[in-house]
Structure 1
Amino acid sequence: MNTSTSDAQQGMGGFLGWIERSGNKLPDPVFLFFWLILGLVAISVLAAMTGVSAAHPTKIDPATGTNQIISATSLLSAENIAKLWVDMPKTFTHFHPLGYVLVVMLGAGVAERVGLFGTAMRAGVRDVPNALLTPTVVLVGMIGNLAADAAYVVLIPLAGIIFHAAGRHPIAGIAAAFAGVSGGFSANLLPGQLDALLFGITEASVATVFDGFTANIAGNWFFIAGMTFVFLPVIWYVTDRMIEPRLGAFDPSFAAATGAEDESDRPLTDAERKGLKNAGWAVLFVVGLWTYFTIGPGTPLIDESASAEAQMAPFYKSLVAAFFVLFLLAGWAYGKGAGTINDHRDLVKMMTGAMEDLAYYLVLAFAAAHFVAMFSWSNLGLILAVHGADFLSSTNMPAWALLTSIILVSSLLNLFVGSASAKWALIAPVMVPMLMLLGISPEMATAAYRVGDGATNIITPLMVYFPLILIFCQRWQSNFGLGSLAATMLPYSIGLLISGLAMTIFWVVLDLPLGPGASVFYSM
């Protein structure tokens, strides 16, 4: 395979070139949090010295009967210094996203390693009619987000091979799959790992100001399902009507390698088909088990003694465990059928490997946990949220306009900081409480962030898989450079941003539910 990267190494000019150069100057997200913590310490000292404060919106001072005044606290105070060093293990291990992600990945890592995700994606796109090839690739790409890295490594190069076999331009297939997997990063028919990660950060951000909020991993379920059906025709149209005509007819003489013998294009074996059948039965079993726990005798996942609004709380909280069991049993069932698991020792090794893959995330979570915690200790999160809410309230902007601005900010920030969790950990501690004070729910704030985050994933060279996609393209056209890839993906980015904004406005204006028990608006 020819992996010439001369064009990529030369970079590009214009706006995208400026993004690439500016973003490359930023430190790794782990150290970005370290520098932000140092800046936060300095700001907290200055704010404490100048008496910066705000009235807490929900806490009443019993002596005066008025809202309690919260003042900025220096992070160099004796109390906060002691809290930093004494509570360091607690600060890290009690970081909400950590437990959610580790539990889900214990199961998802097994499903990925046994080959379930890759085989399912191959089965989904191999024998599709030519007329439905683009939408099928895009839909499998969006659903493939549940498989994390597997969607990038398996589906995107496979899409190029299948498009070529169908007499279409292979780079159009790669572009469509990339837009589905990465542009539609938050779109899906089911909640998954990303929901656990983002809602963990949302819960931690709410806790810096308010008590009593518990994250619901299904809090964006209806919204992300809606995104799937909105984004699908957009990516389909851009691929078939804009990108493929621009690419023209594929000339095999330009191909660095056709990839016709690529392992990812081989037919499914009988063992793999048996594994997929076993996995299907395992999925039905888990769905039936959770249904029984919800409506069966004793209703263990329904709190019948609670108020009507809180009765479903145990069910929502159990969804993290549900996805762990779902991925684990489906992976195990597939592995036994396909012959990729021999005994329970293989299963344990795969679960261990899934934790090894999270090594970088653990380091990042350690830094993010302390940034979020120290932001709370300084009281700056509450103060900024209160004063920011007061300012925005004075502008009389409707909710849809506020959320539109958040989407645009998220999409711009995404050009410089590629990690979805790092960006959300940076802005959520202020954004989520501020929007709550304006009557917008944490679930809606998270949904708006997701729209902006996904739209520009596919045009920033700082996206971790961008160089890999470039290499996939160069397998078919060796002179396809970084600028060529960015220009190819730009129409998708614009289309996804516009359609995502329109969908968000539509959702807010009609006040549609975002997921089970999750609404657009929030009452303090």
Structure 2
Amino acid sequence: MEKKERPGLFNRFLNVIERLGNRLPDPIVLFIILMVAILVASFFAGIAGLTAVNPADGETITAVNLLSSAGMVRILTEAISNFSAFPPLGMVLVVMIGIGLAEKSGYFEAAMRRAIEVSPKKLMLPAIILVGIIGNVAGDAGPIILPPIAAMVVMRLGYHPFVGLVMAYAAALGAFSANVIPGMSEALAMAFTVPAAQIINPDYTGNLLMNYYFTAVATVFLLFIIYYVTKKITVPRLGTYQGQETVSNEPLERKEVKALRWANISVILAAIFFMIFLVPENGILRNPETGSIVQESPFMDSIVFILTILFFIPGLVYGLVSGTLRSTKDFGRMLSDSMATMGSYIVLVFFAAQMLAYFSWSNLGPIIAIKGANLLEAVDASGIPLFIGFILLAGLINMLIGSASAKWAILAPVFVPMFMLLGYDPAFTQLLYRIGDSFSNPITPMLPYLPLLLAFAQKYDKNAGLGTLISALLPYAIVLFFAWSALLIVWYLLGIPVGIDGPIHLPES
């Protein structure tokens, strides 16, 4: 009888992570559990008279028992308003109208394929990486569409198809928070940062571009990092491919190229249209009193809708020219299908909004934040060690909960106020979370893209398993952790704002 080979230590570790993650309830159920936990905690905290002194104004904050008669009435009467008044919900859904049409019409896929097709051979790998990073703005399109395209492209260059699969996957997910184009990831993160910051400062607003400076620079920086890992580790390790090609290598059809050209022209014209109202000193999108583009300007107030239009127009043009959008019924179906993908998010937001409301009403958020900040100050846990610790915590949680919005909905109400009390702006805390959520993405078994990547891999090698992919993706995750962290440390030491109205430290009052 043949002795079964025992899995290696690392594969055994991954199996444990996968089993633990699979035992976790659905994120929606997780929020229901958290809601109940907060109610119970508020009962005991209220009975015990738990308090904390706000260092900002010296006010004593007392825990509120939400299971009292007044608390129960508030829970029942304000449930609908908690959900409907959740500010970022409308913003995310509006952005999805534009992104959804661009995806369903085929514009995103055609743009990715064409960008790779026209790139010179020497720049092919960097082009794939760049498309993967920028493709994050298209949501699921990057990790779903790009890896199989990249696999067939790298085969032309003489590489193993797995090189394209893992490189594109690592670029789309390991650099998930890096981009030069604001999109869904900014909107989803901000959705929970703002309510969490309002626990300490009710007047806090935030904006979609409060991490933009850092994420734009990270786009270029991480491109070189991922390329280095590919050339120095992935390509030598995977060697040459001995099998037969199984993925179609068809270039874009002439009609698709024509449609893509007109779609790109349309988005350029749309951008020029908005620039006409933004660039002049008396432009209507500037602040009418100060002339500022950023500070309290119509441009910043309408940035979400402008981005929606800039996605919507090329998606519409591409669909009309390519023939994927033949009638008003097709148009309605594409918009409906794209919005249907947000169904689980809408349900998630309902329960997350209740959880955040309970956390705010109970005063547990600021009490935990104040006591946590006092503890961190007592042990002198601040600065760079604190940042790296939080990044690692977010990365560890990412191994068990794949949804970025679900994780941040849980972490933001605690860590955003805590970091604010230590003097750090919510924009900076949000950035730390996004880094932690990004570097570990390629190796987390909790994302639905990993089984899909395995299916792509098995087209080239029937014996490929999860361990095959994880072992190829792990070097990217490790190096990306150090790269993201190094860029953050340099940025912090230089004291550069992480984005528009996104300072590192809170302004002194």
Q: Does structure 1 residue 447 correspond to structure 2 residue 431?
A: yes
| Equivalent of residue 469 in structure 1, options 453, 459, 479 | 453
* Aligned amino acid, residue 341 of structure 1: L
| Alpha-carbon offset, residue 428 of structure 1 | 0.3
Q: Does structure 1 residue 508 correspond to structure 2 residue 492?
A: yes
Deviates more, 1:333-342 or 1:15-24: 333-342
Quick one: distance in 1 between partners of 2:70 and 2:215?
A: 43
| Alpha-carbon offset, residue 129 of structure 1 | 3.4
Q: Does structure 1 residue 389 correspond to structure 2 residue 373?
A: yes
Quick one: distance in 2 between partners of 1:24 and 1:460?
A: 12
Q: Is the 8 A contact 2:286 2:292 kept in 1?
A: no
| Alpha-carbon offset, residue 194 of structure 1 | 0.8
Q: Does structure 1 residue 31 correspond to structure 2 residue 35?
A: no
Within 5 A, what are the aligned runs for 1:347-426? Answer: 347-426=331-410
| Equivalent of residue 495 in structure 1, options 472, 479, 489 | 479
- Unaligned 5+ segments in structure 1 are 1-6, 60-66
| Equivalent of residue 502 in structure 2, options 502, 514, 518 | 518
Quick one: distance in 1 between partners of 2:127 and 2:75?
A: 50
Equivalent position of 1:44 in the other structure: 42
Output the aligned Cα RMSD. 2.2
Quick one: distance in 1 between partners of 2:366 and 2:331?
A: 45
* Aligned amino acid, residue 21 of structure 1: R
Q: Secondary structure at the match of 1:70?
A: strand
Per-residue CA distance 1:369-392 (angstroms, 9 max, x = gap): 111111111111111111222222
Quick one: distance in 2 between partners of 1:497 and 1:13?
A: 20
Q: Is the 8 A contact 2:288 2:297 kept in 1?
A: no
| Alpha-carbon offset, residue 172 of structure 1 | 0.7
| Equivalent of residue 224 in structure 1, options 205, 215, 219 | 215
Deviates more, 1:504-513 or 1:421-430: 504-513
Q: Does structure 1 residue 79 correspond to structure 2 residue 79?
A: no
Deviates more, 1:447-456 or 1:329-338: 329-338
Quick one: distance in 1 between partners of 2:484 and 2:343?
A: 33
| Alpha-carbon offset, residue 58 of structure 1 | 4.3
* Aligned amino acid, residue 157 of structure 1: P
Q: Secondary structure at the match of 1:140?
A: helix
Equivalent position of 1:259 in the other structure: 246
Quick one: distance in 2 between partners of 1:286 and 1:69?
A: 52
Quick one: distance in 2 between partners of 1:307 and 1:49?
A: 53
Q: Secondary structure at the match of 1:54?
A: strand
Q: Does structure 1 residue 167 correspond to structure 2 residue 154?
A: no
Quick one: distance in 1 between partners of 2:469 and 2:506?
A: 42
Equivalent position of 1:146 in the other structure: 137
* Aligned amino acid, residue 391 of structure 1: L
Deviates more, 1:190-199 or 1:342-351: 342-351
Q: Is the 8 A contact 1:305 1:311 kept in 2?
A: no
Q: Secondary structure at the match of 1:32?
A: helix
* Aligned amino acid, residue 74 of structure 1: N
| Alpha-carbon offset, residue 266 of structure 1 | 1.9
Quick one: distance in 2 between partners of 1:88 and 1:397?
A: 38
Deviates more, 1:297-306 or 1:82-91: 297-306
Count of residues paired in the alignment: 503
| Alpha-carbon offset, residue 294 of structure 1 | 2.8
Equivalent position of 2:265 in the other structure: 281
Deviates more, 1:311-320 or 1:363-372: 311-320
Q: Does structure 1 residue 327 correspond to structure 2 residue 325?
A: no
- For residues 309 and 433 of structure 1, do their structure 2 counterparts lie closer, same or farther at Cα, with a shift above 3 Å needed? farther
Within 5 A, what are the aligned runs for 1:265-344? Answer: 265-296=249-280, 299-305=283-289, 311-344=295-328
* Aligned amino acid, residue 519 of structure 1: P
Q: Is the 8 A contact 1:23 1:462 kept in 2?
A: yes
| Alpha-carbon offset, residue 340 of structure 1 | 1.9
Per-residue CA distance 1:444-482 (angstroms, 9 max, x = gap): 111111111011111121221111111111111111111
Equivalent position of 2:87 in the other structure: 96
Quick one: distance in 1 between partners of 2:331 and 2:55?
A: 50
- For residues 435 and 112 of structure 1, do their structure 2 counterparts lie closer, same or farther at Cα, with a shift above 3 Å needed? same
Q: Secondary structure at the match of 1:369?
A: helix
Within 5 A, what are the aligned runs for 1:120-135? Answer: 120-135=111-126
Quick one: distance in 2 between partners of 1:314 and 1:521?
A: 26
Quick one: distance in 2 between partners of 1:344 and 1:326?
A: 20
Quick one: distance in 2 between partners of 1:300 and 1:175?
A: 46
Q: Is the 8 A contact 1:294 1:300 kept in 2?
A: yes
Q: Is the 8 A contact 1:23 1:417 kept in 2?
A: yes
* Aligned amino acid, residue 25 of structure 1: R
Quick one: distance in 1 between partners of 2:274 and 2:211?
A: 20
Quick one: distance in 2 between partners of 1:462 and 1:50?
A: 39
Q: Is the 8 A contact 1:191 1:221 kept in 2?
A: yes
- For residues 430 and 309 of structure 1, do their structure 2 counterparts lie closer, same or farther at Cα, with a shift above 3 Å needed? farther
* Aligned amino acid, residue 254 of structure 2: D
Quick one: distance in 2 between partners of 1:144 and 1:15?
A: 31
* Aligned amino acid, residue 187 of structure 1: A
| Alpha-carbon offset, residue 416 of structure 1 | 0.6
Quick one: distance in 2 between partners of 1:13 and 1:54?
A: 46
- For residues 309 and 240 of structure 1, do their structure 2 counterparts lie closer, same or farther at Cα, with a shift above 3 Å needed? closer
Quick one: distance in 1 between partners of 2:322 and 2:359?
A: 49
Per-residue CA distance 1:215-234 (angstroms, 9 max, x = gap): 21011111111221221112
Q: Is the 8 A contact 2:17 2:400 kept in 1?
A: yes
Quick one: distance in 2 between partners of 1:200 and 1:460?
A: 23
Per-residue CA distance 1:473-514 (angstroms, 9 max, x = gap): 111111111111111111000000011111111111101121
Q: Secondary structure at the match of 2:59?
A: strand
Q: Is the 8 A contact 1:301 1:312 kept in 2?
A: no
Q: Is the 8 A contact 1:97 1:198 kept in 2?
A: no
- For residues 53 and 306 of structure 1, do their structure 2 counterparts lie closer, same or farther at Cα, with a shift above 3 Å needed? farther
Q: Which TM-score applies when normalising by structure 2?
A: 0.94
Identity %: 37
Q: Secondary structure at the match of 2:223?
A: helix
Q: Which TM-score applies when normalising by structure 1?
A: 0.91
Quick one: distance in 2 between partners of 1:112 and 1:12?
A: 37
- For residues 510 and 297 of structure 1, do their structure 2 counterparts lie closer, same or farther at Cα, with a shift above 3 Å needed? closer
Equivalent position of 2:96 in the other structure: 105
| Alpha-carbon offset, residue 357 of structure 1 | 1.0
| Alpha-carbon offset, residue 286 of structure 1 | 2.8
Within 5 A, what are the aligned runs for 1:8-23? Answer: 13-23=11-21
* Aligned amino acid, residue 354 of structure 1: S
| Alpha-carbon offset, residue 347 of structure 1 | 2.5
Quick one: distance in 1 between partners of 2:370 and 2:278?
A: 39
- Unaligned 5+ segments in structure 2 are none
